[in-house]
């Protein structure tokens, strides 16, 4: 097994993967390892989304972001509240406004 094959998976995926014949060890990570693996997963899923434009991958990105925020002490509900506050103050990205600096 290569170290790059080690990855964090969703909570129910161990049962799904075992049912599909995947072989390996499923174990619980500590806070530090989980945080690092989630950051790697975030980068991986962001790259995958940019390649595929797949809504399922976008959902994975959101779920990983919530998991990371929870480890940082901000539960999902707090992140949703904070998002709404920032959106009210600064807006969203729905209008597609672009800034081009003067050269």
Asked if 48 and 57 touch (Cβ cutoff 8 Å), the reply is yes
How close are the terminal C-alpha atoms of the chain, in Å? 50
Q: Give this prediction's pTM.
A: 0.85
Greater pLDDT, 1 or 64: 64
Compute the average pLDDT of residues 42-59.
Answer: 96
Structure-token match 């950051």, residue found: 39
Break the chain into its structural domains and give their ranges.
28-89
CA of 30: how far to CAs of 18, 34, 54, in Å? 22, 6, 30
Band of pLDDT at residue 92, cut at 50, 70 and 90? very high
CA 15 to chain CA centroid, Å, is 21
pLDDT of residue 35: 97
Asked if 64 and 42 touch (Cβ cutoff 8 Å), the reply is yes
pLDDT, tens digit (0-9, with 9 covering 90-100), for 51-81: 999 999 999 999 999 999 999 999 999 999 9
- Tell me, what DSSP letter sits at residue 5? G
pLDDT, tens digit (0-9, with 9 covering 90-100), for 11-32: 999 999 989 998 889 999 999 9
């Amino acid at each position: 097994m290569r170290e790059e094959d080690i990855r964090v998976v969703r909570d129910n995926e161990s049962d799904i993967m075992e049912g599909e014949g995947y072989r390996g060890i499923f174990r619980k990570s500590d806070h530090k390892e989980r945080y690092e693996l989630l950051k790697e997963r975030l980068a991986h899923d962001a790259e995958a989304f940019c390649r595929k434009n797949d809504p399922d991958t976008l959902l994975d990105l959101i779920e990983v972001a919530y998991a990371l925020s929870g480890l940082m002490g901000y539960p999902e509900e707090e992140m949703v509240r904070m998002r709404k506050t920032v959106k009210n103050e600064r807006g969203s990205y729905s209008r597609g406004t672009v800034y081009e600096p003067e050269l």
